[in-house]
Structure 1
Amino acid sequence: MLIQDIKNLEYFRSGDNCLLCELLHPEKIKGTLPEKLSMNYSIAHAIVPRGEKSLPHRLKSSSEVYYILSGSGKMHIGDESESVCSGQAVYIPPGDVQYIENTGDLDLVFLAIVSPEWSLEDEEVILD
């Protein structure tokens, strides 16, 4: 049985500038697992601090779902923008440029579920 406890994991600044913690990824699990996890997606816990936003980026071949846990913000996908809040799930198609901004008074916290699993080679950060 594998149970990941976020209290035992580390956050880092991802390429798109979110604070990120890999909860489940088939190839990036801390511990002594004998082989790759049998899953074709990854789940990360993400935080966009108050007043910040992620950098525009896209996943070339993976789709992504953001499930908003707390806070509020504005999700940008392609030419569309919508307000988002706790309890909402946002589908992000492969290849679409996206970013999320925190428009609230608290941290914007969400799960980022990527299928197939996130990889550095699949992500492209769009710099002006």
Structure 2
Amino acid sequence: MLIRDITSTPLFTAGDRTRLREILHPKNEPECCNRCSIAHAFLGPGEASLPHRLKTSSETYYILAGEGMMHIGDESAPVGAGQVVYIPPGAVQSVENTGEDDLVILAIVDPAWDAADEEVLN
């Protein structure tokens, strides 16, 4: 049985400025047959991720709490708790917290996130 607790998973700041905890990743859990990785991410009020893209992986955000503005390519839309956002491979993306509380996201990357696949744009 494989169980992860976000409170015991190290917190770090990703290249796009999102703070996250990598909950599951095939490189860390070889017994896990998933090809995807799962991270618990958040941005504080007024914070935004830097525009970035994953060259070959798709990403799915499940918004757990808060509200924000999602930007994918030339499109922007408000997002909030209970919504799912699909980000196709190669799409330039960013998200900003427009609320008064943390914007909390479960990020699922398929195939699993790899630093070499991510390009942060300034």
Fold agreement, TM-score > 0.5: yes
Following superposition, the deviation at residue 28 of structure 1 comes to: 2.4
Following superposition, the deviation at residue 110 of structure 1 comes to: 0.6
- Report the 3-state secondary structure (helix = DSSP H, G, I; strand = E; otherwise coil) of the residue aligned with 1:113: strand
Aligned match of 2:58:
63
Alpha-carbon distance between aligned partners in 1 of 2:47 and 2:67, rounded to the nearest angstrom: 12
Aligned match of 1:43:
38
- Report the 3-state secondary structure (helix = DSSP H, G, I; strand = E; otherwise coil) of the residue aligned with 2:35: coil
Question: Percent identity at matched positions?
Answer: 58
Following superposition, the deviation at residue 38 of structure 1 comes to: 1.1
Alpha-carbon distance between aligned partners in 1 of 2:31 and 2:112, rounded to the nearest angstrom: 12
Say if 2:97 is the partner of 1:78. no
Alpha-carbon distance between aligned partners in 2 of 1:39 and 1:108, rounded to the nearest angstrom: 26
Which amino acid in 1 is paired with 2:23? Answer: L
Equivalent position to 2:82, from 80, 87, 96: 87
Following superposition, the deviation at residue 36 of structure 1 comes to: 4.9
Of 4-13 and 61-70, more deviation after overlay is shown by 4-13
Aligned match of 2:21:
21
Runs (5+) with no aligned partner, structure 1: 30-34
Runs (5+) with no aligned partner, structure 2: none
Aligned match of 1:117:
112
How does the TM-score come out when normalised to structure 1? 0.93
Which amino acid in 2 is paired with 1:45? Answer: H
Which amino acid in 1 is paired with 2:61? Answer: Y
Alpha-carbon distance between aligned partners in 1 of 2:84 and 2:43, rounded to the nearest angstrom: 16
Aligned match of 1:32:
none
How does the TM-score come out when normalised to structure 2? 0.97
Alpha-carbon distance between aligned partners in 1 of 2:31 and 2:4, rounded to the nearest angstrom: 15
Moved >4 Å (runs of 4+):
none
Which amino acid in 1 is paired with 2:102? Answer: D
Aligned match of 1:53:
48
Q: Which has the larger radius of gyration?
A: 1
